[in-house]
Every structure is written in C-alpha cells, then in structure tokens.
Amino acid sequence: MEKLLEEFLAYLAVEKGLAKNTVSSYSMDLSKFFKFLASKKRRIGSLGKEDVVDFLDALRSGGSSIASMCRAISAIKGLARYMLLQGLMEEDPTENVSSPRRWETLPKALSVGEVKDLLKSNVNGRLTLRDLAMLELLYSSGLRVSELVLLRVSDVNFEAGFLRVIGKGGKERVVPASTRSLRRVKGYMEGLRPKLLKDRRSEYLFVTSRGGPMTRQRFWQALKGYGALAGVKLSPHMLRHSFATHMLEGGADLRSLQKMLGHSDISTTQIYTKVSMDRAKKVYSEHHPRG
C-alpha cells in the first residue's frame, strides 16, 4: 500500500499539478484509509463500496467535520480512478458514493409528538378528508410527494395492506401502508372523491375540486396550512424524512428501509443513521444527569 500511495501522490503532483498542501492532505487522508483497511484485513485490490462507506462512518463517529470527510472521499475517489487507469482495479467502488455534504442539507425530521399533532387536525374544511389521507400516507409509507400525487386507485391494495408505487426512473416498488392510513384513504374515497369528480372519471387516487389529478404544488400549499395549525414549519419531504428517522429509531434495519424508500443506493439510506445519532445525543445531553 505504501508504494501505491507514493506513486499516486507523485501522479497528483506531476501529472495533475496539484498544490503541495493538497497532496499532503490527500496523503494524510489515504494513510488513515489504508490503516482502516488493514484493521479490517482488507486488501486495496479488493476494495469495495462498503469499505468506503464504513470508513466514512468511522470518521463521522470519531468527530470528523463534514469538510474533512468530503476531502477524504475526494482522495479515495482520486485513488480509485488512478487504480482503474493503471489496471489495478476493474470497477470503481466510489462511483455512487454520495458526498457527505448531503448530511448538512437533510431536512429536519418531526418528533413523534409533532406528527401526531399534525395528523389529528380537527379542521373541518371541505378538502380535509383528502388532505389528511395524503398526509397519513406520506408518513405511513415514506412516499415522495411526486409518488403520492401519482398514485392510482388500482395501486392501493386494501386487503393486503400495501401500495404499488412508481418511483424515480420509473422504478416500481411495493410498500406497506398502515391500517390507519388505509382507513383514512377509504373514508376519502367514499365520502369526498365522488363529490369532487361528480360525473367525471379519473384513474388517480387523489383529485382536485376540478376533478383533475392532484399536483405537487397544490399539495404543498395545503401542507403549509396544516403545519401552521400544528405549530410546525413543514417542508415537502419532511414527513418522508420523519418516517425514515422514526423507523430507524424503532429498530428497522437499513436494507428494509432502503427498499421502502426506493433508494437505489444504500449509502443514501445511511444518511438517516446520522440523523438518528444526532437526535440520540441531543436526548442524552438534555436528560442524563451528567450528560
């Protein structure tokens, strides 16, 4: 590994013309990475994506800043590309590893109490049945707003308790739906949907007062109103993030959560482990007598 590191650093300095301080920083980051691989008894030639993700987790657990972690992943990505050029590796294990900077921009998750307050809204509006059914499904099944508004009546299986969802890239997945959320959907379908459609027909589950399919923009407007009533500032994906965070806190495993969220890459799902840890630290510091 030492020889490989020397050759790579020389390549960065001579071929790429990187500044000395940048090469020095890469050297330190890769030295840490090599020590980490050695502790796992892993060879650099058989480097896998899980090794990179585990290393990032170790850095995060050790208190490394986001900037330091971003620099480390840049160093590892550069090394992987160099090894591909040299024929030392057949596939790039860092190709789909996302930048840790995404952890800084992940929207806040609501607390369980805040979700309960939101979903028990006693507003008596004309469209309340529809809106609360949509809110309940977002939280119950962790849907994206775009997936929610595109749900068709045929996508809901009331007997088996699941939804068929078309996600990003047209990928289809099946997600569970709670009894409570399906009960609200059924109440909307029996009590309000026929009135909105009148004599019209629509394959879409959620429709507007004009009988057309619900839009993301219209739903976001309604979302803000319900958030204000519950005393929380809602963003479009906050209920999805709350679903993921609460699932992890309840003991769900990452692979199952990945399938439910429709993430093609588990490193995206792993972002929520940081959110859960941050919340655990906050609870600890607030409630432990010596926290």
Q: What is the DSSP letter of 98?
A: P
Which residues are designated catalytic?
Answer: 144, 168, 237, 240, 263, 272
Listed in sequence order, the residues at least 6 apart from 164 whose beta carbon sits closer than 8 Å to its beta carbon are 154, 155, 157, 172, 173, 174
Return the CATH number of the domain spanning residue range 112-285.
1.10.443.10
Q: Which residues pair with 207 in a beta bridge?
A: 213
Secondary structure class of 262 (helix, strand, coil): coil
What's the Cα-to-Cα distance from 30 to each of 40, 45, 93, 284, rounded to whole Å? Answer: 15, 15, 15, 34
Query: Has residue 40 got a pLDDT over 60?
Result: yes
For 71-97, what is each residue's pLDDT tens digit? 888 899 999 888 888 888 888 888 877
Cα separation, 109 vs 31, whole angstroms: 36
Q: How confident is the model at residue 274 (pLDDT cuts 50, 70, 90)?
A: low
Query: Has residue 42 got a pLDDT over 70?
Result: yes
**Domains of the chain, residue spans:** 2-105, 112-285
**What CATH superfamily is the domain 2-105?**
Tyrosine recombinase, N-terminal domain (1.10.150.130)
Secondary structure class of 241 (helix, strand, coil): helix
Listed in sequence order, the residues at least 6 apart from 103 whose beta carbon sits closer than 8 Å to its beta carbon are 66, 271, 274
* Cβ burial, residue 14 (10 Å; 0-12/13-18/19+): exposed
pLDDT of residue 92: 85
| Six token digits for residue 219 | 């739903």
Query: Has residue 4 got a pLDDT over 60?
Result: yes
166 φ, ψ (degrees, to nearest 5): -105, 110
CA dihedral 189, 156, 260, 93 (to 10 degrees): -120
243-265 burial code (b ≥16 CB/10 A, e <16)? bbbbbbeeeeebeebbebbbbee
Average pLDDT over every residue of 210-239: 85
Q: How confident is the model at residue 99 (pLDDT cuts 50, 70, 90)?
A: low
| Six token digits for residue 96 | 């789909």
pLDDT of residue 183: 95
Q: How confident is the model at residue 22 (pLDDT cuts 50, 70, 90)?
A: confident
